[in-house]
Structure 1
Amino acid sequence: MTEPDSHSDDVRLQILVRRLRAVSLGGPTAILSSLASTAVLLGIYRDTLSHPAPVIWGVSIALVLAARFALLRLTDMESTDIHYIEASLRKVVLVMGAVSLVWAIGIPIFAILGRASALPALSGIAAAMFVGVLLLHRSVPRAGYAHIILLGAGMAVASIATYGSHSWPLLLLLVVYSITLWIAVGRLDRQFVDGIVNEIGSVEAADTVAMLLHDFEEQSSDWLWTVAPGGTLRRVAPRFAAAAGSDVERLEGTPLINLFQPGEERDRLARHLVECSPFRDLLVKLRVDGEMRYWRLSARPRDDGWMRGVVRDVTHDRLIEERVAFMAHYDSLTGLANRYLFNERLRTMLGENGERGSDVALFYLDLDDFKSVNDTRGHLVGDRLLREVGNRLEQEVRDEDLVARLGGDEFAVLIETRAGMGMLIERAHRFLSVVREPYEIEGQLYRVSTSIGVARCSDGDCDAEELMRRADLALFAAKRKGRDTLAMFEQGLDREARERRELESDLRDAVTRGQLRLHYQPVINLDDGGITGYEALLRWHHPRRGLIGPNDFLPIAEETGLILPIGGWVIRQALAEISRWKGDFRIAINLSPTQVRSPHLIALVAQALHSNSIAPERVEFEITEHVLMVESETGNDTLARLRELGTRIALDDFGTGYSSLGYLRQALFDRIKIDRKFVVGIEDDLNAQAIVSSITRLAEAMGMQTTAEGIENRSQLDLLRKLGCQEAQGFLICEPAPGDAFATPEALEASMTGKGSDVLDYRKAREAAMKRREGRHA
């Protein structure tokens, strides 16, 4: 029996051998079932044995079955001669066909000679033999097809002989069954052949993978590891042993989990090893030569119960991530929780929809006239005072309470209590008392005081933002009373909320009345001092209130949905204005979470680019990681579609959120904007310098550019350049100004004077340095 030409000779040989072996394995079962059926049939029809036909049939069945058994016993199943295997398989098919033929003859014989009461038994045996083709002939389809034809014919003759002209329904049903079995035999054969071909391909692929893994193990910075069932190390590679601070002989047979420090991740690893289940990027800790290291492990199980995987040492990246994560959660000066962690804790304590608000009290503290301390005593003394204030506040609360520095000289104390307002006032007075006590710093005594706003939700009538708003209103009321005092929130303080609603109403008409304006702030290249782009900043020229900054109205726009028409106007207006400017520079435009969620954003950007003939790569959209936090899946999809248009994406305020590194891995950014909190005072802050250096190296490794925000003096420009930052922007370079200030080279030059004179000097110095460098290379 031959196979299709689409297979190579080696594959054809394998298929033929498998067919022959399948017949050999199923041979005893087929012979026994056939003999058993014969015995049962002869027993039922024993009254016909006086006739020679049943006897001859029984002898014939015995002979062909014996021939089949002998042929299978004499065939060399291990032969690799394709011609011998083909010939042997043809013989087997002929013998199987002979068995089917004898059965096809016997069925009408017994139907004609036997009594009518035995017909049900004959029908059952015939049907079983007919359908048995699916089990006994599935590996040899030609024998199966012959079996279907022969037994079908025999059963048809028996039906006609028994029922005459009334047998046509049975004949029709027999045709349907025959066609069904024919199709099934063909389908089983295709599955049989495909399974063999796939298995051969898998073996070849395994050989290739083994070769590649060997090359990988020799050349990669990662290491391979293998464990037997039970999780013990096997075939330990020398490089793996060296990374673990041990040797091959000591590690061989050692449980893998024994290498790692106890913890949740180690327990997860143990479960995966016990369950023999795949895992990826599992972070575990271990000590190597007394030093804590971090490894990421991935593995997949094999069919034999072993597991093989890869490990990578991520200690350096982990330490950077932990440092950045610390900066994202805690205040670098005082070690207290920062605003972000405070907000997270507040939301957690309030529960969903503020249903636990009556148990949460918020004390909002602002040091009185602390600016004068910095101005008269210097920032070093001011920083010491802030740390001492934080320490004193922490000593006045329980471990489960939270003290946070929200920025500058603002602190917040968040406690969970069911105490009444009297107890809260007493607690607030205690805070006032500990803060006003004198501070001894370097032998000198200093005194400061604070104002406190106290608020709580009643019966779950507010969420985190509302509670914070109430505390802020109460703090404002305390400030109006004077220094070193407190105020409780009361409904009368809501008049500011009414003013906000008035501002919201005016904002709805700001676009149509032409009250919005765009100002632009330049961004310079730290290498040569030249301008590489501008950031578009929104301003509101209110007819009564005058110039209103974005911080005063954009939060309202975001909350009310007005940010969509306003944001659309900003995109169209910015691209329309810069299309008239001279120069090849990029324009940065901020996107809010609401804009990123909008299904119309992509079409709006594409239309604005086309209408103004702006190259997409000149446009850069800035987002904060809050955009991804609100709608991570939608946000990533929108960013990907913006990048498909050709525009660039920048992550703004990097390092100020919860998990900036996590979002860098989720989304593809072209630029990281280092938040001004890392830039302010960087000349004297070694920690800030280390953070900025880590961020620039991380960005370079991920193919991203870096821009530092909040530049305030010339020395910061030089230091940031040395730390690896490519670009900078800030008031030192140029304050935001209307577009006319940058539309022409002459206007731009005029705008860069005054405060920008330091930048012009910096540019000249960099140009001179580049010329000297080029001269040395020449």
Structure 2
Amino acid sequence: MQRTSFENQLTFDADFEAILNAIPQPIIVKDEHFRFLFLNDAACMLVGRARCDLIGHTDYDILPTAEADRYRDMDIGVLSTGEEVSVEEPIAVPGGEVRRLVTRKSRAILTRGSSSEKVIVAIALDVTECRTAEAALQASVEHHRSLTELHPQVPWTADPSGEVLEIGPRWEKTGYAPKEALGAGWAKAMHPDDLGEVQREWAKSLATGEPLDVEFRLAAAEGGYSWYRSRAATRRAEDGSILRWYGTVEDIDDRRKMFEALKESEARFRAIADDAPVMIWVTGENGADDYHSRLWLETTGQTAEQAAGKGWLNAVHPDDRNAVERVFYQAFDLREPVRMEYRLKRAGGGSAWVIDIGQPRFASDGTFLGFVGIALDITERRNAEQERLLAQKQIHHMARHDALTGLPNRQFLREEFERLSDHIAPSTRLAILCLDLDGFKAINDAYGRATGDLLLRHVTERLRNFLKQSDILCRLSGDEFVVLRVGINSNAEARLLAQQLIDVIEAPYELAGTHVDLQVVVGLAAASKSDQSLDELIKTADIALERAKTGGGGTIVQYEPKMDADLRARQRMKVSLRHALAKGELEVRYQPLANLRTGQITTFEALARWPHPERGQVSPAEFIAVAEETGLIGPLGEWILRQACTEAVKWPPYVSVAVNLSPLQFRNQRLASTVRNSLEDTGLDASRLQLEITESVLLEECDSNLQTLKEIRQLGVIVAIDDFGTGYSSLSYLRTFPFDKIKVDRSFIADLPKSKESLAIVRAVAAIGRSLGIITTVEGVERQDQLDTIKAEGFDEAQGYLFGGPLPASQAMALLKSRSEISAAER
């Protein structure tokens, strides 16, 4: 039974919907009231909701108000003007990952009978990996469908000589009566520019008997021209002679205009995505490839004929071909999606790594139609991954080792101690020995830095040769070394080790013909593993070392509790800090951050200050640590946050405020609510608040802290990782959480541009920031040559005394006003 046109339309829509669902790019259609009319599977996945939960709803049902307002303004503009809008932005997908999407919105008019409706069509393009794949795939499928569909409109017949004998009544759409088209009269309705080509094609078919298939423009009764397609074939006698030609004229004007629009859209899209070439392929239901895009052919050097069928496998690298063929045809047999990475042979030699993603296609009745897929050239990404891994190893090593001697530093010692702690009994005794090279500065001054460096390397070599393999030797500063030994039996054994180290180091040195004598003093601390932390052990050993320095070379001092008078002073500070917080004696200062491209102040970092009535200004490093020990960090941090937000509201809207969060604040399960309340109470836009954390937040209770970070980021707040490069594994955390900003620790900046090691680290961090699309900021910029260096490396922002120190709120405001007046004067 022949289908009605309505049934055919339903089948067409179902096929089109199936094709859209096979496209991995999100597609969203809204009506004139901004309600969702349609979302493909990829769009539902992007939003994180089922289609049935979205149809009929608006952005306000699924997004924060501010974000929904922004989308509504964009939709209103598209709907009212008809102009296409394209915007690129970072979007957090379910799971917390942030992808950069280019969203293109345009207006379309749906005609149903005599009525029409304007709709908004939005296509989100993932430009982090394959910005052109889905759109190109859709264009390919639409092109294929346009070429294969036939909807006859005007039937006609002609005699063997080509004279038209009869033509259907709908020829009147051209403005000419059907009888005027008989013979060769049909030419009167044809566009003059197309007539010659059509006549040549018709003459060729008449001469050869081959079928006719030609497109052209015909006049329209209401004026102008519309595109049509005519196809014709012969009916022959038994002897093969032509009896009559039978043909149809099909109105393809809408399809032609749509195809031209798609081609124009694809051309615009390709212009945007030149850096992400995509290869498109399509198979039939038998598994044979019957279409490969131009990029596939250009990459492999194959012709379309050579790539057809299974010929595409000849372009696969020989070492990968068997695995690729097996995986693809296994997926084909199971009618399941396929994803492979393999190498293609390049036309000019060599090979290209590609990621190949294929999806099965099904008709509305479930009939399997074949596969469609995209192959992305990921050669650069594979190479970049290798380079990033190497850079990560280099940065990790450089951040944990001394460049001169190759010895581990304090961070390495802390990490190794934590590792050892999991494998030794609590009662195991440890010894920490801090060694200071007495007289090293005099030698360095007398013979020069090169000799001093050589001496340090000789000292390192002697210590390495003497110590056990299980001992840990570190260099903490210029002339200070630390030795950790696990498993000592007594204090006497620890003191014996100290004396042996002195004997090893104090033996005379011959350095490039120069005789050098060196003395050493040792501060010693010994305790059970369960008694003290590593930092406490090092601290007590440092206290003993300071006492040993007063005794001169060869002195050994073991820590005793009576040396710890400063701890009592610290206790007094705890009481004083609690009083200062309760009485409002603390202050917040604001240090500017400058945009390195424009020179404009874009952010102030809020820094707590304590003007003690007796001691004067107390170092933040001192009283923040006390606040963390006493539990005051919670109320102190909330007070700083609220003060900073209150002040930032007064600034121009392009200026943000940055606030540091202590890892201990994350123990408060209501931290995200505290941030939200501060924003709501002060009226500060969330996008103007930057919260800075150190990577220790991700070390302790990682899952809980990550969830808190996600809740904070969902508020619209910018999240930055502070002191980047000094912690456990900074690069790995860039994959754990999508940070918006990296702040490079000042320790890597201090000796720029002279230090090659520091330059290598900051260069690697800048490159990582660019590749991940993360803002990079440098702390501690105090000299012009440092600024010139970080500018050359491509950093985005800088902070330091070169731009200004921490200022009272009134001076920060005055600074902004003066900068604004200067800018106005320059304009």
Match in the other structure for 2:808: 738
Cα distance in 2 for partners of 1:388, 1:685 equals 22
Match in the other structure for 1:587: 657
- Relative to structure 1, the CA distance from residue 9 to residue 525 in structure 2 (aligned partners, 3 Å threshold; closer, same or farther) is closer
Amino acid at match of 2:541: A
1:362–1:456 Cα contact (<8 Å) kept:
yes
Q: Which has the higher helix share?
A: 1
- Relative to structure 1, the CA distance from residue 484 to residue 645 in structure 2 (aligned partners, 3 Å threshold; closer, same or farther) is farther
Please point out which of 369, 372, 394 is paired with 2:464.
Answer: 394
Please point out which of 719, 722, 730 is paired with 1:660.
Answer: 730
Match in the other structure for 1:646: 716
Deviation at 1:299, TM superposition (A): 12
Amino acid at match of 1:335: G
Cα distance in 2 for partners of 1:451, 1:238 equals 72
Match in the other structure for 2:404: 333
Amino acid at match of 1:340: Q
Cα distance in 2 for partners of 1:427, 1:496 equals 28
2:589–2:809 Cα contact (<8 Å) kept:
yes
Matches within 5 A, 1:591-610: 591-610=661-680
| 1:345 lines up with 2:416 in the alignment | yes
1:339–1:407 Cα contact (<8 Å) kept:
no
Deviation at 1:412, TM superposition (A): 1.4
Cα distance in 1 for partners of 2:473, 2:447 equals 26
Amino acid at match of 2:415: E
- Relative to structure 1, the CA distance from residue 515 to residue 415 in structure 2 (aligned partners, 3 Å threshold; closer, same or farther) is same
Please point out which of 648, 657, 676 is paired with 2:746.
Answer: 676
| 1:416 lines up with 2:497 in the alignment | no
SS for the counterpart of 1:462 is: coil
Deviation string for 1:469-522 (max 9, x for gaps)?
A: 332332233234445422112232343333222222222222112232222322
Please point out which of 612, 615, 618 is paired with 1:545.
Answer: 615
Cα distance in 2 for partners of 1:747, 1:441 equals 60
Match in the other structure for 2:797: 727
Matches within 5 A, 1:31-70: none
Match in the other structure for 1:512: 582
1:453–1:476 Cα contact (<8 Å) kept:
yes
Cα distance in 1 for partners of 2:779, 2:481 equals 25
SS for the counterpart of 1:512 is: helix
- Relative to structure 1, the CA distance from residue 610 to residue 386 in structure 2 (aligned partners, 3 Å threshold; closer, same or farther) is farther
Please point out which of 320, 324, 334 is paired with 2:395.
Answer: 324
- Relative to structure 1, the CA distance from residue 281 to residue 363 in structure 2 (aligned partners, 3 Å threshold; closer, same or farther) is farther
Deviation at 1:444, TM superposition (A): 4.3
TM-score (norm 2): 0.54
Deviation at 1:235, TM superposition (A): 11
Amino acid at match of 1:319: L
Match in the other structure for 1:93: none
SS for the counterpart of 2:658 is: strand
Cα distance in 2 for partners of 1:413, 1:626 equals 25
Cα distance in 2 for partners of 1:407, 1:329 equals 13
| 1:315 lines up with 2:400 in the alignment | no
SS for the counterpart of 2:641 is: helix
Cα distance in 2 for partners of 1:342, 1:368 equals 23
Deviation string for 1:398-446 (max 9, x for gaps)?
A: 2222111234443211122334222221211222233344555555455
1:538–1:549 Cα contact (<8 Å) kept:
no
Amino acid at match of 2:470: E
Deviation string for 1:236-268 (max 9, x for gaps)?
A: 967763xxxxxx1x6656999xxxxxxxxxxxx
Cα distance in 2 for partners of 1:316, 1:730 equals 31
- Relative to structure 1, the CA distance from residue 393 to residue 519 in structure 2 (aligned partners, 3 Å threshold; closer, same or farther) is farther
Cα distance in 2 for partners of 1:213, 1:457 equals 74
Report which stretch shifted further, 488-497 or 708-717: 488-497
- Relative to structure 1, the CA distance from residue 721 to residue 379 in structure 2 (aligned partners, 3 Å threshold; closer, same or farther) is farther
Amino acid at match of 2:625: P
Deviation string for 1:339-387 (max 9, x for gaps)?
A: 22211211233337x8445342221223447666667766555544444
1:325–1:659 Cα contact (<8 Å) kept:
yes
Matches within 5 A, 1:134-213: none
Cα distance in 2 for partners of 1:481, 1:348 equals 35
Amino acid at match of 1:477: R
Deviation string for 1:127-180 (max 9, x for gaps)?
A: xxxxxxxxxxxxxxxxxxxxxxxxxxxxxxxxxxxxxxxxxxxxxxxxxxxxxx
- Number of corresponding residues: 519
Deviation at 1:660, TM superposition (A): 1.2
Aligned residues with identical type, % of pairs: 34
Matches within 5 A, 1:7-46: none
Please point out which of 531, 544, 551 is paired with 1:474.
Answer: 544
Deviation at 1:467, TM superposition (A): 2.8
Cα distance in 2 for partners of 1:611, 1:212 equals 63
Cα distance in 1 for partners of 2:488, 2:590 equals 51
- Relative to structure 1, the CA distance from residue 447 to residue 606 in structure 2 (aligned partners, 3 Å threshold; closer, same or farther) is farther
Amino acid at match of 2:409: N
SS for the counterpart of 2:470 is: coil
Deviation string for 1:620-659 (max 9, x for gaps)?
A: 1111111111122222222222222222111111111221
2:648–2:656 Cα contact (<8 Å) kept:
no
SS for the counterpart of 2:589 is: strand
Amino acid at match of 2:641: I
SS for the counterpart of 2:644 is: helix
Amino acid at match of 1:558: E
- Relative to structure 1, the CA distance from residue 582 to residue 465 in structure 2 (aligned partners, 3 Å threshold; closer, same or farther) is same
- Relative to structure 1, the CA distance from residue 563 to residue 397 in structure 2 (aligned partners, 3 Å threshold; closer, same or farther) is same
- Relative to structure 1, the CA distance from residue 252 to residue 600 in structure 2 (aligned partners, 3 Å threshold; closer, same or farther) is closer
- Relative to structure 1, the CA distance from residue 615 to residue 583 in structure 2 (aligned partners, 3 Å threshold; closer, same or farther) is closer
Match in the other structure for 2:760: 690
Report which stretch shifted further, 595-604 or 382-391: 382-391
Match in the other structure for 1:500: 570
Unaligned runs of 5+ in 1: 11-203, 223-233, 242-247, 257-277, 285-292, 303-308, 750-759, 772-778
1:336–1:405 Cα contact (<8 Å) kept:
yes
Amino acid at match of 2:404: L
Cα distance in 2 for partners of 1:366, 1:281 equals 59
Match in the other structure for 1:708: 778
Cα distance in 2 for partners of 1:208, 1:621 equals 57
Cα distance in 2 for partners of 1:605, 1:403 equals 44
Cα distance in 2 for partners of 1:748, 1:722 equals 28
| 1:562 lines up with 2:632 in the alignment | yes
SS for the counterpart of 1:457 is: strand
Amino acid at match of 1:542: H
Cα distance in 2 for partners of 1:686, 1:589 equals 32
Matches within 5 A, 1:77-88: none
2:749–2:758 Cα contact (<8 Å) kept:
yes
SS for the counterpart of 2:488 is: coil
TM-score (norm 1): 0.57
1:358–1:456 Cα contact (<8 Å) kept:
no
Report which stretch shifted further, 354-363 or 698-707: 354-363
Deviation string for 1:648-677 (max 9, x for gaps)?
A: 111111111221111001111111111223
SS for the counterpart of 2:582 is: coil
2:605–2:657 Cα contact (<8 Å) kept:
yes
Cα distance in 2 for partners of 1:668, 1:316 equals 20
Amino acid at match of 1:428: A
SS for the counterpart of 1:328 is: helix
2:637–2:661 Cα contact (<8 Å) kept:
yes
Match in the other structure for 1:30: none
Unaligned runs of 5+ in 2: 1-5, 13-281, 301-309, 326-335, 343-350, 361-374
Cα distance in 1 for partners of 2:558, 2:339 equals 50
